[in-house]
Chains A and B, each alone.
Chain A
Amino acid sequence: MKALMSLGALVGILGLLLLGGMTLDVVPSNTVRLVEGYMPMQLLFEVGCYVLGFTGLSYILNAMGMAIPRFWQGIGFWAFFILYLKYRVYPPIPFSVRAMYGTVGLVCVFMWVSANEEDWQKFKQPILNVLDAQTGMNKMLRYAFLALIPVLMWGFSYNAMMPKSEEPIELRTVHPAPPASTKVHGKTYTLQTSQNPYRVNPEGKYDQEYSNANIVEQSMGRLMKPNANPWGENSQGYLKYVREGGEIFFQNCHFCHGDNLNGRGLHAFAFNPIPANFTDPGTIAQLQETFIFWRVAKGGVGLPNEGFPWASVMPPWEQHLTADEMWKVILFEYWHTGYYPRTWD
C-alpha cells in the first residue's frame, strides 16, 4: 500500500513540476500533443492520473506528519486544474470553454470538501478562524482582508465600467432543425426517407454494412483499411464513389474544411465562424446524411432563421455541383473521418 502511495506521490510531484514548467514556459505545452477528436478522453485520463497522484502525495505527507489542511488542498487542486486547462492543453481552448470546465471543477472540489459534516467543518474552520481573529496572525489577516476586499471590488467595478471595445459574444445554433424536405436541381428530397444513392456494394445495392466496413480505421491517423483502397484499380461500388467524392472535395471543399477535414483549410483563418471540423465527433458524426445533403446544397444562404447570425460563407453547393456530386462528397467525408452517418431509426 505504502509503495503504491509513494508511486502516486511521485506522479503527483512530477505533474506539479511539469505544469510549473509549462506555466513558466520552460517546458513547451505541446510536448505531448492532445490528439484531435480524442481530446476530452485524453484530458479526463490525465486529470484522473493527477488526482490519483495527489491522493498518494497527500497520503505520504500525512504519514510524514506534514499534512496539508483540507482547506488548502481544495483551493490548491482547483488552482492546479485552472492552470492545467490554461497551460497544458494544447491546442489551447477558448476562455469560455475553460470557464465552463473551471466551474465544473469548482463544483467537484466543493462536493469533495463538503462530502460529510466533519470534512466540511475542517474546510470552513480556517475561514471562521480568520473571522474570529483569536490569534495575532489571524488578526492581521483579518485586517488585511478588510482592507483588500473593498479595494478589489473598486478595481473590478472600475474595470467593468470602463468603456471597452471587446468583441461581442455571439451565440449560434450549430445544427439548426432541418426542414422535412428540400428541393435540389428540381428534385424534392424527403429528408426522412432519402438515401445516399452511392452507399452501395460492388453489386450496386444500397448496403450500409458494406460501406461501414470499408471506412478508414478509427485509430491514430485514421488510415484506410489495408485492403480497401479507393485508388485501387479494382475498386468498385462504394470505394469507387469515395474516390470520386474525394476528387470533388479536393477541388471545392478543402479550401475551407482542410486537407484533413478538420476545418483548417487554406482560407479558413480568414473566416468567422470557422469552417466545420468533420473530425470532431460533434459534427457529421451525429447527423444524418440527408441533413448534410441539405446543408451542402443550400449553404449559408439557405440557413433557416434560427441559424443566425448568418455570417456563414458556406456556398450553396447546388450552384456549383450536381446532386450526384454532392452525395459523393458526403460519402467521402464519412469515409475519410471514419464516422458512420446517423440513421433515422
Chain B
Amino acid sequence: MNSVTRKAGVFASTAFGVILMSSNAGVALAQGGLPEGFQKGELPAEPSAEMLEAGKRVYFTKCVWCHGVDGAGDGPGADRLWPRPRNFNQGTFKIRHTASGELPLFDPKKPISGQNDLFDTVTHGLPGSAMPPWEGILTEEQRLQVLSFVTKELVKDRSFQDKASETQTVLQLASLKPKPATEESIQRGKELIVEKKCIECHGVEGRGDGNAFNLKDDWGFSIQPADWHKCWNFRGSRQDPYNVANIFRTFSTGVNGTPMPSFADTTSVDDRWDIANFVNSLCERNAEGNPLPIDPLTDKPKINFVIPSDLVEGEIPADIEAEAWQKAPRRYVAMGGQITHKPRNFVNRIDDIWVRSLYNEKSIAYLVEWDDRTKSVAEGSLPWGPTEVNIDVTEQEPRTGEEGSIAAKQNNYDVYNDAIAIETPVKWKELPAPIKPRYLFGTNEQFPVDIVKWEADGSLRAFLGTGWDQDFQQRDTYEESMKLLKAEWKNGRWYVMMERPLGNKKDQDYDEDTFFEVGQYIPTVFFAWDGHNGDAGRKMAVSAFYYTFMNPPIPEETYIYPVVIAIGVVFLEGWVLTRRANRKKGKTL
C-alpha cells in the first residue's frame, strides 16, 4: 500500500511539473485516475471506547443544543438558525481535504492542523454560521473525543473505518506551493471564473448574487453562494481569511452537500491557484490595498466606531468616483439582527455596511454601500403606512420542526422594500456625556431621535422616533430639504448616497432635527432591511452606536503651543542643571 501511495505521489508530482511547464494545461487528470494534486490516503483507526464515552460527555454538554440528541441537526436551537446546524447522520461534511463526496479527514490520534479536517472545523469554527471556534474552550483531547463520538455514533449512514465502501483521496495542500498573486495570475483567474461558469452562482462581481433563489442543499434547504468580498465569512477560512490556500482547497474539493462542485478533475493546479488568487484579491481591503485587520475575538474586521466626515468646498459630488469620495475614509459598520423587540430578526442577511461621509457648509452626505444578493422592491403598495413600526410581521416560533424553520422559509417571504436608515439623537448635546438615547427609535418625547430612511421604491423620508414601541412621526416639511444623490443596485451591491441639512438653531426645528456640529461626536445608528428576507418594521438589521465626526479645520494653536511648551522645557532644564551645579558647590539657591 505504501509503495502504491508513493508511486501515485511521484506520478502526481511529475504531472504537476509537466503542467507547470506547459502553458496550455487543459484537463488535468494525473495518471492513475487521481485528480492533480491529490494522493490516496488511508482510513483512520477506530477510536477507543474510552474516547467515545468521554466524547459523549462533551457532546451532551456543548453540542446537543444545536445538533440534537441523534446528531440530526435538529437540536432546540436549530429552527432559528440559517444555515441550519449540520445533520451528522449522512456523513456529509463541507470543509475537507478529500475528494468530492468522500468523508473528511479525521483521525482521533492526530490533532494536526491540515491533516484532520473535522478537528480543524471544531477548533476554528465555521464563520458566518453559529458554529463558534472551540479552541480555548475545549482542550485538544476533548475536541478529539467529541469528534470520535460524532463520527462513530452519530454518522449513521457511513463509516469512517469501512474499507469496503470508503476511500480517501487527499489534496496534498501542504506540498503544493501557492502561486504568487501576480497581476497576470489574478487576470488569468478573472478570465477563468467566467470560463468555469463560477459567475453563474457567485455573480459577475462575486457577491454571491448569481443564482440567489434556486440553490438547495442536500436536505432541500435554501442555500446561498459565498460572497467573495467577505472572506471572513468563508466557512473554510480557518480564522485565516486572507490565506489563499483555503480558497484553493475549497475550489479543489468542492463543498459536500451543496451545489458547489469540486473542480479538481477539470482544472489544473496552476489554474486553480489563479482562480484562488483572483477570488482572494476580491476580499475587502483597506485604502492601501492591505488585508483588513481582523479582530481575534470576533473573527470579523476590526471596528472603528468613528465615521469621519471631510469638508468639501461647494456642492457635495454625487459621483462615487469623484476625488472627494475616493479620499473619504471608509468605515466598516457591523450589523446584527434586531432581536430586542418583536418581530425579532434571527437571521439578518445584511451583516455589514460600508459608510463614507462628506460635508459642506450647509449639508452632510452619507454614502452607504452594502452587499445584498437581491434587489427587492415591494410589488404594489405595502399593507401598512411608512411610519408604522409595530407592524404584524410574524416571528419564528421557537420550535417548529424542519418544515417551519427559518431555513425552510428562506426565499419564500413576501417581498418588501430594501431600505437603509440613519438614526441620530435630536438633543444629543443636552444628554450628560456618556448617556445616549435609548438604542432603538429613541427614548421618549423629551429625548427623541431623528431618523432618515431611504427605501428601494425611491423614497427618502424623515421621521421622529419617540420610543421603541411608538410608531414614527413623519417630519414632512423636512423631506424637501433632503436630497437623494444616488441609489443604485448593481451586481449584488447597493450604493445609496443621501444628503441632509446640517441644521442650526435659527432655521430648523430644534425639537425634531439633529444639529450636526463640527468637531463633535454625534451618536449615529444604522438600520438596514433586506426585502427578500421579509424585513419590514422592526424586523431589520441594526448596528451599534457609531459616531459621526465632522473633521474641523486645524486651528492655529496647534502650531503655536507646542513650540511654547518646548521653550518652557529648555528653561526648566537650565534651572535643574544650575541647581545641581550650585548644590555641588555647596551653595543653596
Complex alpha-carbon distance, A152 and B130, angstroms: 49
**Interface-side segment among B218-226, B339-347, B493-501:** B339-347
Chain B residues near A170: list those with CB within 8 A. 434
A sample of 18 cross-chain residue pairs with beta-carbon separation below 8 angstroms, ordered by A number, consists of A131-B577, A154-B562, A154-B566, A161-B557, A162-B554, A163-B551, A167-B306, A226-B57, A229-B60, A250-B65, A259-B62, A264-B298, A265-B130, A270-B334, A272-B544, A300-B439, A311-B439, A316-B340
> How would you classify the secondary structure of chain A's contact residues: helix, strand, loop or mixed?
loop
B137 and A310 within 8 A (CB): no
Whether A298 sits at the interface, judged by CB under 8 Å, is: no
CA distance A265 to B573 in the complex (A): 55
- Whether A108 sits at the interface, judged by CB under 8 Å, is no
Which residues of A are interface residues toward B (Cβ below 8 A)?
Answer: 33-36, 90-92, 131-132, 146, 149-151, 153-155, 157-158, 161-163, 165-168, 170-172, 216, 220-224, 226, 229-231, 246-252, 254-256, 258-260, 262, 264-272, 299-301, 308-316, 319-320, 336
Does the CB pair B346–A255 fall under 8 Å? yes
Given contacts A153-B565, A161-B557, A309-B434, contact A251 B76 (CB under 8 A): yes
CB-CB under 8 A from B342, the residues of chain A are 319-320
For residue B175, CB closer than 8 A to chain A, the reply is: no
User: With A231-B64, A251-B399, A319-B342 in contact, is A220–B439 under 8 Å at CB?
Assistant: no
Whether A231 contacts B551 in the complex (CB less than 8 A), given A153-B565, A313-B542, comes out as no
Known A166-B306, A167-B304, A267-B337; contact A224-B57, beta-carbon cutoff 8 A: yes
Q: A167 to chain B: closest CB distance in Å?
A: 5
CB neighbours (8 Å) of A299 from chain B are: 340
* B519: nearest chain-A partner, CB-CB: A163
Residues of chain B with a CB closer than 8 A to A91's CB: 136, 296-297
Asked whether B139 lies within 8 Å of A220 as measured between CB atoms, the reply is yes
A49 to chain B, nearest CB (A): 21
In contact, B58 and A221 (Cβ under 8 angstroms): yes
Option from B65, B351, B398, B559 in Cβ contact (under 8 Å) with A259: B65
B534 within 8 A of A: no
Which residues 546-566 in B have Cβ within 8 Å of A in the complex?
A: 547, 549, 551-552, 554-555, 557-559, 561-563, 565-566
Residues of B within 8 A of A171 (CB): 434
Q: Does B319 interact with chain A (Cβ within 8 Å)? A: no
B334 touches A269 (CB 8 A): yes
A262 CA to B142 CA in the complex, in Å? 18
Q: Which of A221, A226, A314 has the most CB of B within 10 A?
A: A221
Selected from A163, A220, A230, A270, the residue in CB contact (under 8 A) with B142 is A220
Kindly report which residue of chain A lies nearest to residue B75, judged by CB atoms: A250
Q: Could you tell me the distance in whole angstroms from the C-beta of B138 to the nearest C-beta in chain A?
A: 5
Compute how far the CA of A124 lies from the CA of B297 in the bound complex, rounded to whole angstroms: 43
The CA-CA distance from A258 to B551 in the complex, in Å, is: 37
- Inside 8 A of A154's CB, which chain B residues have their CB? 562-563, 565-566
With A266-B130, A315-B339 given, can you name 12 additional A-B contacts, CB distance below 8 Å? A131-B577, A158-B562, A163-B554, A250-B77, A254-B77, A267-B339, A269-B336, A270-B542, A301-B340, A310-B435, A313-B542, A320-B344
Mask: chain B, 292-311; 1 = CB below 8 Å from A; 0 = not:
00011111100111101000
- Is B558 a contact partner of A161 (Cβ separation < 8 A)? yes
Q: Is the CB of B135 within 8 A of A33?
A: yes
Task: Check A312 against B439 for contact (C-beta < 8 Å).
Answer: yes
B551 surroundings in chain A (CB, below 8 A): 163, 165
Q: Are A272 and B545 in contact (CB under 8 A)?
A: yes
- A131→B581 CA distance, assembly (Å): 9
Q: Nearest CB to that of A308 among chain B residues? A: B435
A230 CA / B296 CA spacing, docked (Å): 33
Residues of A within 8 A of B77 (CB): 250-251, 254
Partner of A146, one of B80, B436, B549, B573: B573
Chain A contacts of B308 at CB under 8 A? Answer: 165
Distance between Cα atoms of A268 and B334 in the complex (Å):
10
CB closest residue in chain B, given A168: B521
Contacts of A131 in B (CB 8 A): 576-577, 580
Distance A252 CA – B395 CA, assembled complex (angstroms): 12
Q: How far is the CA of A157 from the CA of B543 in the complex (A)?
A: 35
Alpha-carbon gap, A10 to B437, bound state (A): 57
Bound CA span A315–B306, Å: 26
Nearest Cβ on chain B to A209's Cβ, whole angstroms: 22
Closest CB in chain B relative to A305 CB, distance in Å: 9
Complex alpha-carbon distance, A313 and B348, angstroms:
16
Interchain CA distance A255-B399 in the complex, whole Å: 16
Residues of B in contact, count (CB < 8 Å): 87
In the complex, what distance in Å separates the CA atom of A146 from the CA atom of B557? Answer: 25
Known: A132-B584, A167-B305. Contact between A314 and B60, CB under 8 A? no
* CA A220 to CA B66, docked complex, whole Å: 22
State the Cβ distance, A4 to closest chain B Cβ, in Å. Answer: 32
B176 within 8 A of A: no
Which of A216, A271, A308 is B336 in contact with, Cβ under 8 Å?
A271
B269 interface residue per 8 A CB criterion: no
A249, B65: Cα distance in complex, Å = 9
The residue of chain A having its C-beta at the shortest distance from the C-beta of B130 within the complex is A266
Q: Which residues of B contact A266 (CB under 8 A)?
A: 129-130, 336
Closest to B298 in A: A269
- Which residues 79-113 of B sit at the A interface, judged by CB distance below 8 A? 79-80
Contact yes or no, A315 B300, CB < 8 A: no
| Minimum CB–CB distance for B560 against chain A, Å | 9
Contact B547 A90 (CB under 8 A): no
**Residues 382 to 421 of chain B near chain A (Cβ within 8 Å):** 398-399
Supposing A312-B439, A314-B340 touch, asked if A157 and B544 sit within 8 A by C-beta, the answer is no
Cβ contacts under 8 Å, B312 to chain A:
none
How far does the alpha carbon of A146 sit from the alpha carbon of B569 in the complex, in Å?
9
- Chain B CB within 10 Å, residue with most, of A172, A222, A265, A310: A310
Bound: A131/B544 CA distance, A = 53
**How far, in whole Å, are A154 and B57 apart by their CA atoms in the complex?**
62
Interface check B41, CB cutoff 8 A:
no
**Contact between B435 and A309 (Cβ–Cβ < 8 Å)?**
yes
Option from B297, B544, B563, B569 in Cβ contact (under 8 Å) with A311: B544
Residue of A nearest to B468 (CB): A301
Q: Is the CB of A153 within 8 A of B80?
A: no
Q: B69 at the A/B interface (Cβ < 8 Å)?
A: yes
A300 to B340 alpha-carbon distance, docked (Å): 9
Asked if B547 contacts A310 (CB within 8 A), the reply is: no
Q: How far is the CA of A249 from the CA of B296 in the complex (A)?
A: 25
- Within the complex, the shortest CB–CB distance from A274 to chain B, in Å, comes to 8
Provide the residues of chain A in CB contact with B65, threshold 8 Å.
Answer: 246-247, 249-250, 254, 259
* 102-152 of chain B: CB within 8 A of chain A: 129-132, 134-139, 142
- The CA-CA distance from A248 to B77 in the complex, in Å, is 8
Cβ contact of A310, chosen from B62, B437, B521, B569, cutoff 8 A: B437
Q: Which residues of B contact A231 (CB under 8 A)?
A: 60, 64, 69
Q: Does B438 contact A (CB under 8 A)?
A: yes
C-alpha spacing A112/B332, complex, angstroms: 46
Q: Which residues from A are CB-within-8-Å of B305? A: 167, 272
Residue of A nearest to B570 (CB): A150
B-side contacts of A254, CB under 8 Å: 65, 77, 130
B479-493 interface bits toward A, Cβ cutoff 8 Å, 1 = contact, 0 = none: 000000000000000
Known A153-B565, A172-B434, A255-B339; judge A163-B552 contact (CB<8 A): yes
Shortest distance in angstroms between B119's beta carbon and chain A's nearest beta carbon? 15
Q: Is the CB of A161 within 8 A of B566?
A: no
Residues 37-71 (chain B) with a chain A CB within 8 angstroms: 57-58, 60-62, 64-66, 69
Asked if A216 and B304 sit within 8 Å, CB to CB, the answer is: no
> Does the CB pair A270–B336 fall under 8 Å?
yes
Contact of A222 among B61, B468, B565, B577 (CB under 8 A): B61
